[in-house]
Structure 1
Amino acid sequence: MNWKQIAAATGEPFPGFIWAYRFRGDGIAERLNPEAIESVLQAGDGWVWLHLNLANVRALDWLQSAAPIPDEARTLFLQVDEHQTLQVTDDGVIFGIFSDLKQEFNEKSTEDIAKLRFCVTENFMVSARRAPLKAVEETRRLIEDGRRFPSAVTLLEAIVLRFCDGVAKVARGLSTSLDRIEDRVVLADEGDERVAIGPLRRTALRIHRQLQHLAILFHDFAEENDTALPEDTRLAAARIERRLSALDNDMRDIHERARVVSDEVASKLAQQANRNLSVLSLLTALFVPPTLMTGVWGMNITNLPFKDADNGLWAVLGICLTSTVLVFAVWKFLTRR
């Protein structure tokens, strides 16, 4: 089934279409209508970037039956697994899955991670996602502003670097939040910082895992010797790997700082709990002798001391007070040692 047959069956010019651009030899792009994609690809004038929405089931039909990509890449687009990967075929076709920050409809990015699937051939790049992605959208805006992309590899590099910029912004936000938490902890603020430090640590750890894996993928890709990758592609992979590794180090430092602050908060809470327990234990000890004595004198039996004395009540109260003072003196003596 070709593109036109799928379009006729689905009732859409191109199923799951988000946007498409044709890049001339000088890297200048022009936006394509869905109807023109097939003819441009057949003409072989420049290269085409097609971006699809995988939430549209009919886009999966096109990827499965009509997309001009290798079978390995086709399987990657259709599978449910979203682990990051970067592979290259013997023919030099690059495909994989990258992480990106989600973007809400109000054009604000979040700290949530989503995945971008892509395949790059000699004159064609297809990418697809299930949720709006920040780096992809920012790269599209660069194209609209006139940025030149002479090859699909340069476009792919731009997307990954925009992702790095987004992560760097998240890292700055996490670091600023962590600074405020540290200040409150040092100033012995009574607020419980566990509520704030927990989500911060989870975010730092989640992004660290994505960065670490992606940096390893690009390192291995740059060192790939089994395929004849162009030198500019290897250099681009090396640049990306260095940027990802630097960001990963920053995120790891943030996570380590958050762990130290979390331990400090836990220590302060433990100290506060120990103080409260100490006070409670002291009060319990102080009231034990008076409670014992009032229990004894409260028994309805004969031969109790001071039972018939005129000042018996005051005598018993004096004994209770004296015993309490003695217990307190013993406690002070023991705590000074």
Structure 2
Amino acid sequence: MSARPAPAPTLPPNDPERALAALTDLVRDDLEACNRLIVDRMQSEVALIPQLAAHIVAAGGKRLRPLLTLAAARLCGYRGTRHVALAACVEFIHTATLLHDDVVDESALRRGGPSANALFGNKPSVLVGDFLFARAFQLMVADGSLRVLEILSAAAATIAEGEVLQLVTQNDIATTEDQYLRVIEGKTAALFAAATEVGAVVADRPEADAVALRDYGMALGIAFQLVDDALDYSASEAALGKTVGDDFREGKITLPVLLAHARGDEAERAFWRRVLEDKEQSDDDLPRAQALIRRHRTVEDTVARARLYGDRALSALATFPPGQARDALEGIVEFCIARAR
């Protein structure tokens, strides 16, 4: 049996990382079991598969999505072990999408280090992503619940739809806020929602509880992505864990840009059309884009929108009795939004 990890360092009371630490501590034994299962299921006789998979799985991710599955099951009073394998399944789906996304986006960094495609190449990254998707579906089938299979397989399909929709709206400054929200609901929030919903399903809780946890996960995922999109224009590269301005260089249409374009004068709107639609960018254009976003305070307004979704997530939890699990899930809402500080 592996040695128990050292306790987490003491954090200031107002540090949002305390919320993540509290969630991790709440389900620590389950998370360790989940991590062991992830390592076991990454194995293959084809040596490149575990080598590449281990690179991204061990790259410092917070395991937020599987943590949500484990905590949701705890909130619902579940005392079995099925949630551990489903948490691993959720992490495999997430990791597979990261591998594919970095290839599509031609990203060089992931979580502050070289992306898998930068180290191993595009073809291996795509194929190992496919392998991890297959492992996820094996775990779903092994669980034996058609409802679980329905929830997680639907999430996998929705993620792909969200990524394709983002590709369609990329470089189109006429994209509406509704279209933008559909993108982030698909590519990010759908997996958050599925991760929490299955916690109620394995506990055999009433449909109302499953819906409440799905609503919590969906609202939390939207808030999480809104903050990510704000950080792409405002964070340092070290804090962001990837190259600052990636969204800008790729021509992704995010809320900070939509708001800046709507509030700008004709010269500013012409700038956004040139750099995003016509894809004519120079070295000076990212700093100018950041300046326009600061002028119109669109990062602040994007984070304020994230807080509204955070409030929705908190409201969805109100149906559950108070306790450690609910406290931890409520705390993670603030953790997701406070990353914008």
Whether these two folds match at TM > 0.5 is no
Higher share in strand: 1
More helix by share: 2
Point out which structure has higher relative CO (alpha carbons under 8 A, 6+ apart).
Answer: 2
Which one has a bigger Cα radius of gyration? 1
